[in-house]
Structure 1
Amino acid sequence: MRVALFVTCFNDALYPRTGQAVVRLLERLGHTVAFPAAQTCCGQMHVNTGYYREAVPLARRWTEVFSPYDVVVSPSPSCVGTVRESYARIAARTGDTGLARAAVEAGPHLYELSEFLVDVLEVTDVGAYFPHRVTYHPTCHSLRGLHVGDRPYRLLRAVKGLTLTDLPGAEECCGFGGTFALKNAEVSVAIGADKARHARGTGAEVLCALDNSCLTHVGGILSRQRSGMRVLHLAEILAGSEEGGTA
C-alpha cells in the first residue's frame, strides 16, 4: 500500500511537527510514508470565499500530485473536506469535466488521520504514551463535515498514561472559521473565549483537536490569558511513546 502524506500548507508553514508526528506514527505501525514535494495548497481558502475559478489550478495540481498513491492521509479535516466535497462543486461550477473525473477518483483514497487509523488500519491502540490530562475539542469540519464521530476519543482513551476529561460545550464552534475570524473578529474572539473558558474549566493540561487552525485560534486566547494550558494536534499525542518521549 503506497501511503502519501498530504500535510497541508497551513501545517507545513506553521506546524511542521504535526506532519512529522504523522510520519513517525505511521512508520511505527509498519508503513512507509511518502511526502510528495510538489504538493501545494488544496484551494480551501479560495473555495470558502467564493473564488471557484481561481481554485481550479490548485485542485488540478492536487489530483495530479496524489493520483499515484493508493492512500493519502492528512492531519486536517478541513482540507480533506475540501478535496472530497468541494472539488466536485468547483468542477460543476466551472464546467471542468476533467477535474470532475479526477475528484471522483481522488475522494475515496483520501483519509483524515483518525479515519485511516480506525477504519483502514483497524487500530485504536497505537502504542502511544502521554502521561497528561487532556480534553478534546471536536472541530466543526471533523464533526459536521467528515463525521469522524468517536474515532478521536477511542484513540485518546487507548493512550497509556493519558487522562481524558470531557469538554463542556464540546460541539460548539471555537469561532475561527477561516476568513470568518478576519471579517468578524469581535464575534470570533467572543466565541473563542467561551471555548477557552470551557477548556480551562476541565483542569486539563492540554487541549487536543484535529485541526491546527482551530487550535491556533483557541491557543492564542489561552496564551494571552496566561492559562498555562497547551494545545496539541492529535497526531502529536499519538506519536508519543515511552521509548521516543512525548510531545
Structure 2
Amino acid sequence: MEGFTVEDETVPTVSPSVAPKTEGEADGSPQHFDLSAEDPELEADGGYDNRASSFEQAFDRNLPAAAAGGNLEQIRERLQFLSIEDQKTVCRRECQIAQQQHDALQRQLQQTIDRYRRVVQLHGAMTSHAGAGESAVRSECVMDEEVLQKYRERIELLEKMLSTLCSEATVSLPRLTPMERAKGFAFSSYANTAVAANKLKDGTAPVLENARGALVSFASRLRRGSGEGAGGYAGDTPAA
C-alpha cells in the first residue's frame, strides 16, 4: 500500500530514521505518511508498539463518526464488505485506538496542570524574592490577584477531571500485535473505499474490483507472514 501526501500542521511527523524537528522548526509543508511512520505522542507500553501511524490517523480523520454526522447504518454499510473475522479485527483496532486516546488525554491533563501550577509558582517567586522597592513593579508586570485566582480554580478543576479519569476502572481487549494493527487498518481502508465505489455503481466497478484485488493480495501476504495461511474472501458477496 503506497503512502500519500496530506497537510498536517498540528502534528508534523517524520520518518523514524530522521531526527524529529524541534519546536519552532516545524512548518506547514506537506508531510509523507506511510504504515511505518509513528506518532511520537503515543508511547510503547508493555512490549507492544501501540503507537498509531500518522497514515492511519490521517485516514481515520476522514471516516464518518457518530458525532460528526455518521450513524449505525453507515457503519454497517462499511462493514458489510468484510468477513466476520476481519470485522472483529477492525473493531479491536478501534478499541485499542480509543484506549490510546484515553491515556493521551490523561497525560495532557497532567501536563496542563503542571503548566498552570508553574505560572503560579513563578508569580510567587517574583513577588516574594524581589526587593521592597521592586515588589510592586514586578507584581504589576505579571498578573493581578483576580487572574491568579482564576488560574488556581482552573488547576482545581483539571485535577478533579484527572482524578475522575484515573479512578475509573478501564476495560479493554488484549492489545493487537503490529501485524494485526496493519490488517485492521487495511480492512477498514478497503471497506471505506468499497462503500464510495459502490455508490457510483457501474461507472466505478473496475475501481472497486481493483481495490478488492489489492486487499485480497495484501491480506494474503499478512496472513502468510503471521502463519495463518493464505485466507482471503470467497467471491464478491459481502458479509452478512
Tell me which interval the TM-score lies in, with the shorter structure as reference length: under 0.3
Higher percent of residues as helix: 2
TM-score (norm 1): 0.22
Higher percent of residues as strand: 1
TM-score (norm 2): 0.22
